[in-house]
Structure 1
Amino acid sequence: MNGHRLSPWRLAAFSGPAIPIGALGLPIGVYLPHFYAGPMGLGLAAVGTIFMLARFWDVFTDPAMGVLSDKFPSRWGRRRHWLVLSVPILMLSAYMVFSPTAPVGPVYLLAWMFFLYIGWTLLTLSHMAWAAELSDDYNERSRIQGYREAFQLLGVPLVLLLPAAIEWMAPENVDAARVAAMGWFIIIVLPVAIALNLWLVPERKAKPQAHASFLAQVLPLFRNVPLRRLLAADFLSGFAGAALASMYIYEATLVWGVGSWASLLLLLYFFGGIAFIPVILRISYRIGKHRTVVLAALFNVFFAPVIFLIPHGNVWAAAAVLVFLGVNVGTTTTLYRSMMADVADIDELDTGQKRTGLFYALLTLTQKMGGAVAVGVVFWTLALIGFNPQGENAPGAVFGLSIVFVAAPVLCNALVAAIVWFYPIGLKEQSELRRRLDERFTEEVEQTERPPNMP
């Protein structure tokens, strides 16, 4: 599955587990902070701190998981057994987090968020690393990640249909009902998607890894300039996305005046993201991945302030703005993950080891760290300006919410454009990397097959 274009049906089967990944990511960013800070009564500052600490737990789990997945393959391959292990962990922790029995304290939320993130790391990291190893081709890697990202984005509107329907029916305890419904969606879909993936998609045979000292493994990471640029950009993109997600319910309700349509409007946002992925891929085939990232970042910088022009109570205007903001939803994740596969080629050439799991652990880590810092910073900022998530707010507090909501994507995307502008790997450079790696592999095979008495 390395030297040819993968069929759409096989890519669809492979991408299935991305649906519960996306379905889990949205409520963690949008609904759970709102649910635990408001109806569950923990407050903004406590919830912001808990979600930040839970994300910082990934500082340890992500790199450890990346190293383990690279070093300890099974007879199934390098990644498949880790996908299986994630299922019971995620199912149990999702039930405990999404269906809590009140009252709950900060320790309960913190403990189960830790377990939830462990399962999420096992699933997400193994799936992304496997995607990178399906092909060595510069553009085919983008196509694979595009499929995977489209399925991940598809998980968002699928899970959003549940709270949207619940909001429409308006039950007595709407907050608890919509959060519980999303949790059950994840619990049911996850094992089915993993089973289909394992049944229909074979994994390439793992090549044994040569032993290397700790310094020999760590030092190349610091020398890898494209890696540093990509991780910095990913941190900023993660910050911007999590900042918007954590404020969206408040913004839609208090600033736009369309609270009863909030979940349906969010559906349009993610459908816009899915629709623009093929366009983004075509652009990247022509101008390169990193230039496409710069283009998308600049679009966000100049388009985000249009949010200020949404008239209060105008659902159609809010819908139009959200559809076009969806341009950036799938762009960064699709292209960053494809770019990371190219970055891992540099490391393989430098160290002689294929450390895809570690590199994707670093990528997921920076995105999560950006999200963790964003939730903490945003909730602390809202608390400082006097915003109250449980009651009435003065006009100044609501206006401050709107300012923060727009400023976060503008500033972060401006920095992304500046960082990625001089990114050094394009089609030509990646092709040269693969040529040198193929030459090395051929030499190793020839040396292995050469009789012992020959020089």
Structure 2
Amino acid sequence: MATVYSAREGAATARSTPNGARGKAHRPEAWRLAGFAALSVPIYAAQMPLAVHLPAIYTQHFGLSLGVIGLLFLIERLWGAVSDPLIGALSDRTSSRFGRRRPWIAAGSVLFGLACLALFFPSRALVSPAYLGLGLFLLYLGWSMMQIPYLAWSGEISADYHGRTRVATYQQVAGSFALLMVLVLPTIIDQLRPGDSGLRLAAMGAAVLVSLVIALPLTLRAFPEQTPGEAPAGTTPVRRQPLGRTLSLIVREKLLRRVLLSDFAVTAGQGTRAGLIVFFATFYMGLPQWASGLYLLQFIFGVVAGPVWAQIGYRFGKHRAAIAGELAQVAINLGLLLVVPGGIALMVALTVAQGLTQSSGNLMLRSMVADIADEHRLRTGEDRAALFFSAFSVSMKAGTAFAVGVALPLVGWLGFSPHAAHNTPEALRGLLYVFALGPALAHLLSAWLIMGFPLDEARHAEVRRALAERAAATPFSTAAE
């Protein structure tokens, strides 16, 4: 008989699992977690082409300016700052026979897939700033509808402090595999059909769409959701209140603010590197054939790094593991200042090191959001998991938008142009400084923001015990009609 993971069972687990047991007495089967994590593949597979290849291809192949592309990405992310919390709040309030999360994931996947068709298989005659802007708007709306409930659901699978790290690790490994997949494709195409950016874009789009069709049913069937009448243990019905007051919860949660700002910095650093690496390899290093291969190498080691950082998190705690990884990335990015044109050996070494550290912040910060939602539920009695994960989604998207919307215009202002036959030495140095110092400063800020984070394993165990005691002392709550 298949194991059912319900809110009632979560309460029993919280009561019976001693502190430090790491949830081993009751852990979801690996095959279920792998199926659930499958949706991370199309989500991550789209992320890299959008951040790395799409801006460069739409600039070089379709003639859109760096400034226009940077502005469009920035506008879309600012829109996400409004739409994502709204989707999170509505997901928390949804009640259907399919659950709270499934309807949103399914509907968002359809919209996401249609937008991918438009962006990855464009007609040259149709491409314009308006076309790209509309495509990005629909893609990010569908992405939010799919990703935010998915992240919230991932925090509900396990109530254990380290169990959530395990869930996030499966998602991180699946995401790293997706990034590896979409990096292999353009690398192969660059060797077989050099300069065919249209084929490169179409191949990455096909990978996103095929993985979406395969992953969606696997994820939706991996775990049962709460029935319409259930709510998490120790939870009172979510009060219907004005949307503005609901969204203000994000601002008032001090711990959530720290994690969100830290994640914004992580993503801004990664986005700056991703958005400029094609230009850096092609124009600064003079090695265009390495443009895709370097990122491919990084994510080969990134696949290995996810489980390694999970073990570090088990041993030292989530926030300490995140800080260690972020400080390592500061040193790695500063090392880029020593790279010289044609100096591939040092660049390869730094790329491998980047891959080995890249999972630290993303993995730990995501897992910490679910712990913060538990602490909030203990204080208020209300389950705001999707709302909090929607804010986490905003920080990720805002960080990427900031990177593209600031880094691309900045290197242009410093004199760099991908259309120029020859860039001046000053322009190339400007490209180097933005590529190296931007991520270094961002990762340093991320580490500083979560130093001394108080919600560690011991404190979370106290929160879970208190929630379990409340659930045992009161009738099981029902969702608001």
Common topology (TM > 0.5): yes
Q: Give the corresponding residue for 2:357.
A: 328
Instruction: Verify: 1:354 aligned to 2:383, yes or no.
Output: yes
Letter in 1 for 2:439: P
User: Deviation at 1:335?
Assistant: 0.7
SS of 2:157's partner is coil
- Residues 205-216 of structure 1: matches in 2 within 5 Å? 205=227, 207-208=230-231, 209-214=237-242
Q: Partners of 1:231 and 1:446 in 2: how far apart? A: 32
Moved more, 98-107 or 358-367: 98-107
Letter in 2 for 1:248: I
User: Deviation at 1:212?
Assistant: 4.3
> Which of 36, 48, 52 pairs up with 1:26?
48
Instruction: Verify: 1:256 aligned to 2:285, yes or no.
Output: yes
Q: Partners of 2:419 and 2:372 in 1: how far apart? A: 46
Q: Could you give the per-residue CA deviations for residues 290-314 of structure 1, whole angstroms, max 9, x where no partner exists?
A: 1111111111112222223335334
Q: Partners of 1:191 and 1:152 in 2: how far apart? A: 16
User: Deviation at 1:257?
Assistant: 3.0
Letter in 2 for 1:291: R
User: Deviation at 1:431?
Assistant: 0.7
> Which of 160, 175, 189 pairs up with 1:166?
189
In structure 2, relative to structure 1, the CA distance for the partners of 1:375 and 1:220 (3 Å cut) is: closer
Q: Partners of 2:430 and 2:249 in 1: how far apart? A: 44
Instruction: Verify: 1:193 aligned to 2:244, yes or no.
Output: no
In structure 2, relative to structure 1, the CA distance for the partners of 1:90 and 1:342 (3 Å cut) is: same
Q: Give the corresponding residue for 1:275.
A: 304
Instruction: Verify: 1:286 aligned to 2:315, yes or no.
Output: yes
Q: Could you give the per-residue CA deviations for residues 120-152 of structure 1, whole angstroms, max 9, x where no partner exists?
A: 112211221111000110011011101101101
Instruction: Verify: 1:389 aligned to 2:418, yes or no.
Output: yes
Q: Partners of 1:59 and 1:43 in 2: how far apart? A: 25
Q: Partners of 1:170 and 1:210 in 2: how far apart? A: 56
User: Deviation at 1:279?
Assistant: 1.7
Kept after mapping to 1: 8 A contact 2:269/2:439: yes
In structure 2, relative to structure 1, the CA distance for the partners of 1:371 and 1:412 (3 Å cut) is: same
- Residues 126-145 of structure 1: matches in 2 within 5 Å? 126-145=149-168
Instruction: Verify: 1:307 aligned to 2:330, yes or no.
Output: no
User: Deviation at 1:379?
Assistant: 1.4
Instruction: Verify: 1:50 aligned to 2:79, yes or no.
Output: no
Letter in 2 for 1:414: L
Q: Partners of 1:62 and 1:221 in 2: how far apart? A: 12
RMSD value, Cα:
1.8
In structure 2, relative to structure 1, the CA distance for the partners of 1:200 and 1:422 (3 Å cut) is: closer
> Which of 172, 176, 194 pairs up with 2:198?
176
Q: Give the unaligned 5+ runs of structure 1.
A: 449-455
Q: Partners of 1:189 and 1:297 in 2: how far apart? A: 30
Q: Give the unaligned 5+ runs of structure 2.
A: 14-25, 232-236
Letter in 2 for 1:427: E
Q: Partners of 1:79 and 1:405 in 2: how far apart? A: 38
> TM-score, normalising length from structure 1?
0.94
Q: Give the corresponding residue for 1:345.
A: 374
Q: Give the corresponding residue for 2:18.
A: none
Instruction: Verify: 1:124 aligned to 2:147, yes or no.
Output: yes
Q: Give the corresponding residue for 1:426.
A: 456
Kept after mapping to 1: 8 A contact 2:250/2:388: no
Letter in 2 for 1:407: L
In structure 2, relative to structure 1, the CA distance for the partners of 1:219 and 1:393 (3 Å cut) is: closer
Q: Could you give the per-residue CA deviations for residues 48-97 of structure 1, whole angstroms, max 9, x where no partner exists?
A: 10111111120122011101111013212221122211222112110111
Q: Identity over aligned residues, as a percent?
A: 34
In structure 2, relative to structure 1, the CA distance for the partners of 1:259 and 1:115 (3 Å cut) is: same
Letter in 1 for 2:437: A
